[in-house]
Amino acid sequence: MIKKGLRVKILCGKDKKKEGEIIEIDRLNNRAKVKEINMVKKHVKTTKEKKGGIFSKESFIHISNLKLVEEKNKKKTEAKK
């Protein structure tokens, strides 16, 4: 099961073979946001409250394109405690 905070590896797409941490999950559409993966440009118009410009942010990626990464070192340290 994929949960927020777990490390995953990207299986296909422009960020193939990269790893990252899940920051948000959309269960209805089977999609997840991964930190620093699938970055897109967002054009924001200037308003009185906010300065406009072009911002980069993460976009959702389908869960079928993700693989959980088991951290062996983490498990060993938890077992010792």
Q: How many domains does the chain have?
A: 1
pLDDT of 42 reads 95
Residue 32's domain comprises 7-80
pLDDT, tens only, 50-64: 999 999 999 999 999
Beta bridge partners of 66: 10
Predicted model pTM? 0.76
In angstroms, the CA 71 to CA 15 distance is: 20
Asked whether residue 2 is domain-assigned, the answer is no
Residue, of 79 and 32, whose pLDDT is higher: 32
Mean pLDDT in residue range 35-58: 95
Q: Write down the mean pLDDT value for the chain.
A: 90
pLDDT at 79 over 70: no
Asked whether residue 1 is domain-assigned, the answer is no
Whichever domain contains 64, its CATH number is 2.30.30
pLDDT at 21 over 80: yes
Beta bridge partners of 43: 54
